[in-house]
Structure formats: structure tokens, C-alpha cells
A = this chain, B = another copy of it.
Amino acid sequence: MAFFGASNNIASMGTHILMSVLTGGFKGKIYPVHRKESHVQNLKAYGHVADLPEVPDLAVIVLPTAVVNQTLEDCGRKGIKQVVVVSGGFKEVGAQGAELEGALKKIATLYNMKILGPNCLGVANPHRNINTTFVPNEGIPGFVGLSSQSGSFVTQMFEYLSGFGMGFSAAFSVGNEAVLDIVDCMEYLGKCPNTKVIALYIEGIQRGRTFMEAAKAIVPHKPIVAYYVGGSKAGKAAGFSHTGAMAGPDELYDGMFRQAGIIRARSVEEMFDFCWVLGALPIPEGNRVIIQTHSGGPGAAAADACGRVDLALATLSQETLEKLAPFIPSTGSVGNPVDLTFAKDYSSFFSSIPEILLAEENADILMVYLMSPQRVVERVLKGMGISDETIQEQGRKIVESNAEQFRAHLKTQKKPIVGYTFHRPDAQVMNEAIARGVPVFQGAERAARATAALVAYSKIRGREN
């Protein structure tokens, strides 16, 4: 990797990006190019790209606008074929910048160079320890591939996604899309083996037809989720000032997404909610949900949320009702939602009951309300004179072993299990379930909407195959 724009000045953007590359654990050689310094961040620096001892696979350019094109020329002459141009000051600032961008494109054509940007935050590929953004990636390598017309939705999602136990397979900030655009990056992600689901943050698509064809080719084997921000009048104006991309009417994009089999999200949060279930869970056969709860309100709220999206409540078979009966107390309900109230044996909520419900022929999906009565149990144990340490350790073990049951269920039954809760996002009951492959959402609405996305993809795939 050749690096232009890093120095020993710790306040410069280029230096920051180089630091991200270094702390990200990049395995290849890094050649900083600097006119004056002999070393940059303890790496041997070179006065000119022509002096480099080999032809780098990639160049990252974080230089003042005025010298970007000359540097690209030099990279081209050296034989570098892939470049990330972080520098701004092009199309997004008006006519003069647009002219510079035109020249940049010509250089790319002349030297057959693939350029990401300009005016972008670069690329992150945690599986290959690459991160050319200025934000250190604290996340884990994951399965979400992102092609984004906003750099923030790469960098600010490192922390956000890791909060859900998720991470990027690869994420591209496409900037002004002078050469490579959101469609090219989507196509790359379509082929990327680490990417299970593709997310698109769209302010406006320039190559509509190519986009449609590419998406149609990907969707049968890999789901695509899009958040399109240019549709509302306000979003359109904001997007325009951001990257200079032209937005179209909301209905047009809606129709395009529908036709291509792309699942549309209505916010960034929802886009990643959808990616989560689509990447982590088996695709259901149909839309029939069983809700398992131990309180009436959360059960009713989930039923309501399912009713407002394209999900049906499964009708339990006589066989299932009979199998369930021994586990449900008289205060509970063996309908759907299956409401245990106070389970006779708390552990059955994670073992026997989901096992019975997942075997139900009339159902495709299990939605589980997760509530850990930790405080109540702690109080009981404390009252019995057990030490705080023992209580906490025991409590942790119980939650772990309960969550472990989910892993077994997911293995034997190829049906998705989606959790919802009102515990805090850092609650152990959430984290342990998530670590075992069960996405857990705060609140029934998010869970239901994400589940509906799973069902939508099931239908799309059925239609496409």
C-alpha cells in the first residue's frame, strides 16, 4: 500500500488514516510517500511514488485537492491499479471542482485505474485487516457488506454494529463516485464470500439500469437491503448538498427496489436490523409466527406488531397443544401467543417449550420474549444467605446455559428464532442469546419488522428461483 498525505503531524487527517491502517493490523507492506520526511509514523518514507521498491496493490491519497490529480498520474505511471481518494474539493463544491473531477476520470481511464472517491472515507475490510477510514474499527469481522453514499455510515457503524455482535465483511464509502460507484461496490459484495447480506445507503443512483441488472443477479443467492434517503423532499435537498448526487422521486425508487427484489428499510437502524436477521438466521418457509412469552402485555404487543406487518399468527395443532399442556400453569394460555405467566419450571422456557413450538408444522418462525427475572432471583438467593459473588456467578451460568439451548434448537430445526426484550442492550440475557445466533431486539416492533424482512426475502427468493 502506498500512502499519500500521512506525516508525523498527529493532527492531520492523513496521519489519522495511516494510524487506522496500522492499528487495524494490516498485514502487507506500507510505503508512506512524503516529500520531506525520511520516516512517517516509524515507517520508512519515500520522496516520490516512482522510488517505491515495488508496485503497490493500492494507493490511499489524502492530499490537498490541488495535487491529487498529479499524484494519480504518478500512481498510474508506476502501474498502481487501485486507488482510494479521500481528498475532497471536487464535484461536491461546484463547477471548478467538477472540472477537476473530470480530469481525474480521464487519468483513471488512461491508466485503467479503479478509483474509490474522491470525497470519500475509504474502505474497511476487517477480514483482511484493512481500514482506510480515520476511525479505528473496534468491531469484529462480520457478514454485513455495505456500499454507502455516506462515509459516516461506514465509520459510525463500527461501534453501532458491534453492539449487536455484528460487524462488516467489507464496507465502502463511495464518495463522489467519479469512477467506482455504489453499483460496482454492490457487485463486489455480491461475490465476496464473507458477505452474507448487502446493505445499501442510497442518496441517488446514477446508473439505474446497471443497478437493476446487478441487483437481480445477486438477490437470488444473497439478500440486499436498501435505505434510500433522497425520496422525501427534505432528504433530497440534504442529499444533494452532501455528494451532489441526483435523487429521484420516492415512488420511482420504491418500484425499482420491488422489481429488483431489494428489501427497503426506512432508516439506517432498520437497514441493519434487517441485515442482522437475514445474515444470522435461516430463511423461513412462510410467515406464520408463534409468540412465546411469560407475560400477557409483551405477548399482546408482539401480536399487534406482527399484525401490522406481513406476519400471521400460527394456529397451533392439537398435537402441539397436548405436548405443551404439562408445561403451562393454569394462569397461562396455550393459545398463540403461548403465555406461560409463571412457568412451572423456568428452564422449560428455553428447553422443552421452544422445542415443541419449533416442531409445529403450522408455524415457520418462533418469536421469544426474553425477560430475565435476575433481580427477583437475586433477592431470593440473598434472602437465603448466599453471598453476592455466588449469586452473580450462578445467575450468569443460568443465563448462559439457557441461551445455549437456543443454539441447539437452531441446529436441529431450520426455523428462525427472533428474540425481543425490554432489558437494556447490554443485559446479559441479550448478549448470551445474541452470541448463540439469536438476534434480540429492544421491543416487539423492531423484532416484528425485522422478521417481516426475513419473510419478504423468503418470498423474493421463491419468486426469483
Distance, CA A148 to CA B295, complexed state (A): 13
- Interface check A150, CB cutoff 8 A: yes
- Interface check A53, CB cutoff 8 A: no
B10 touches A383 (CB 8 A): yes
Distance, CA A312 to CA B232, complexed state (A): 11
Distance, CA A84 to CA B241, complexed state (A): 60
Bits for A427-446, please: 1 = Cβ < 8 Å to B, else 0. Answer: 00000000000000011111
A149 touches B297 (CB 8 A): yes
Chain A, 376-422, CB within 8 A of any chain B CB: 376, 379-380, 383-384, 422
Distance, CA A149 to CA B159, complexed state (A): 37
- Interface check A177, CB cutoff 8 A: no
A138 touches B375 (CB 8 A): yes
Distance, CA A329 to CA B70, complexed state (A): 25
Q: B residues within 8 A CB of A159?
A: 422-424
Name the residue on B nearest A160 (C-beta): B422
Name the residue on B nearest A158 (C-beta): B375
With both chains docked as a complex, state the minimum distance between the C-beta of A180 and any C-beta of chain B, in angstroms: 18
B136 touches A229 (CB 8 A): no
B308 touches A268 (CB 8 A): no
Q: B residues within 8 A CB of A380?
A: 10-11, 16
- Interface check A335, CB cutoff 8 A: yes
With both chains docked as a complex, state the minimum distance between the C-beta of A194 and any C-beta of chain B, in angstroms: 23
- Interface check A300, CB cutoff 8 A: yes
- Interface check A349, CB cutoff 8 A: no
Distance, CA A312 to CA B89, complexed state (A): 30
Name the residue on B nearest A201 (C-beta): B297
Distance, CA A58 to CA B234, complexed state (A): 55
- Interface check A298, CB cutoff 8 A: yes
Chain A, 216-270, CB within 8 A of any chain B CB: 227, 229-235, 237-239, 241-243, 266-270
Q: B residues within 8 A CB of A93?
A: 330-331
- Which A positions have Cβ atoms within 8 angstroms of B? 10-11, 16, 19, 23, 88-89, 93, 134-136, 138, 148-153, 156-157, 159-160, 163, 201, 203, 227, 229-235, 237-239, 241-243, 266-270, 291, 295-308, 312-313, 330-331, 333, 335, 337, 339, 371, 373, 375-376, 379-380, 383-384, 422-426, 442-446
Q: List the 9 closest A-B pairs by CB distance, nearest first.
A: A150-B297, A232-B307, A235-B304, A242-B296, A152-B295, A234-B307, A238-B303, A267-B445, A269-B443
Q: List 26 A-B contacts (CB under 8 A).
A: A10-B380, A23-B379, A135-B373, A135-B375, A136-B379, A151-B296, A152-B295, A152-B296, A153-B297, A163-B424, A203-B300, A229-B297, A230-B300, A232-B306, A233-B307, A234-B303, A238-B313, A239-B300, A241-B339, A242-B296, A242-B339, A266-B445, A267-B305, A268-B445, A269-B446, A424-B425
